């Protein structure tokens, strides 16, 4: 069973291909180009390196959020197009769970962090034990001080992973959280983590969905939507 996974929820973009539980190809860039420029060429690179074509893929997967609204839309649209054209099923994977699979260290609390702006982070908590990924906190958009309070309740070391690591880890350390950063080689989001999460769903007999059912998961409204909502509330009060 072959899975092709895409990741475009943040600045980096990547494509990975897994055959059963083996990663056989991955293409990754973090050079500041838009995902509309990089994602499909990365997909072709990964396929070519694995000596495969799109016809050889059984399931498509994508990091469906949270993350950059534009990046998520591009990734979801790309997978919808690839899967729909070949009548293949899909998995919509949590960006944060995929990040945890990229750093599956035993006996450690894994804390993916993405800068959600407005003094918030997109985050979740996981623990990898006996080959299984256990979720401790659902995907959330929360204030950094709230995350600090949550982490203070754990005695184990905390591993930070994600593009928000550099921005927030010093704050956590200053507040007494025993934490360390993931190696730079895996700190950014990777499609291989998306593929691992999708493969875990497949082996857990979680059914995939059809391409037309694939939708982004933003966790919160965009800035434009929040401004429009606030404007409507202001007009209603008048």
CB-CB contact of 174 with 153 (8 Å): no
CB-CB contact of 128 with 110 (8 Å): yes
Per-residue pLDDT of the chain (238 residues; tens, 9 = 90+): 999 999 999 999 999 999 999 999 999 999 877 899 999 999 999 999 999 999 999 999 999 999 999 999 999 999 999 999 999 999 999 999 999 999 988 889 999 999 998 888 999 999 998 888 999 999 999 999 999 999 999 999 999 999 899 989 998 999 999 999 999 999 999 999 999 999 999 999 999 999 999 999 998 655 544 445 454 445 555 5
d(CA 137, CA 110): 10
Output the pLDDT for position 238. Answer: 56
Output the pLDDT for position 219. Answer: 84
User: Can you tell me which residue has the tokens 């059963």?
Assistant: 20
Class of domain 2-96+190-227: alpha beta
Output the pLDDT for position 1. Answer: 94
d(CA 86, CA 77): 14
d(CA 151, CA 174): 13
Output the pLDDT for position 225. Answer: 47
Tokens for 213, please give them. 């059912």
Domain range list for the chain: 2-96+190-227, 103-187
Give CATH for domain 103-187. 3.30.420.40
Tokens for 227, please give them. 């401004």
- Ordered strands of the 132-143 beta sheet: 132-143, 120-129, 109-117, 158-161, 179-181
Q: What is the pTM of this model?
A: 0.91
């Amino acid at each position: 069973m072959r899975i092709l996974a895409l990741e475009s929820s943040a600045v980096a973009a990547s494509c990975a291909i897994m055959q059963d539980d083996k990663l056989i190809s991955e293409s990754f860039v973090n050079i500041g180009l838009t995902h509309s420029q990089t994602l499909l060429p990365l997909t072709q690179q990964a396929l070519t390196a694995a000596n495969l074509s799109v016809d050889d893929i059984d399931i498509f997967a994508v990091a469906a959020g949270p993350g950059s609204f534009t990046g998520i839309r591009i990734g979801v649209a790309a997978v919808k197009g690839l899967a729909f054209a070949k009548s293949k099923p899909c998995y919509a994977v949590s960006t944060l769970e995929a990040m945890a699979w990229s750093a599956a260290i035993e006996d450690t609390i894994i804390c993916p962090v993405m800068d959600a702006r407005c003094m918030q982070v997109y985050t979740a908590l996981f623990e990898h034990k006996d080959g299984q990924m256990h979720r401790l906190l659902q995907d959330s958009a929360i204030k950094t001080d709230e995350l600090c309070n949550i982490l203070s309740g754990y005695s184990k070391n905390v591993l930070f992973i994600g593009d928000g690591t550099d921005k927030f880890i010093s704050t956590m350390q200053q507040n007494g959280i025993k934490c360390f950063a993931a190696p730079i080689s895996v700190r950014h989001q990777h499609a291989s983590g998306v593929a691992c999460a999708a493969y875990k769903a497949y082996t857990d007999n979680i059914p995939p969905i059809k391409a037309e059912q694939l939708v982004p998961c933003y966790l919160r409204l965009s800035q434009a939507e929040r401004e429009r909502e606030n404007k409507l509330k202001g007009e209603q009060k008048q």
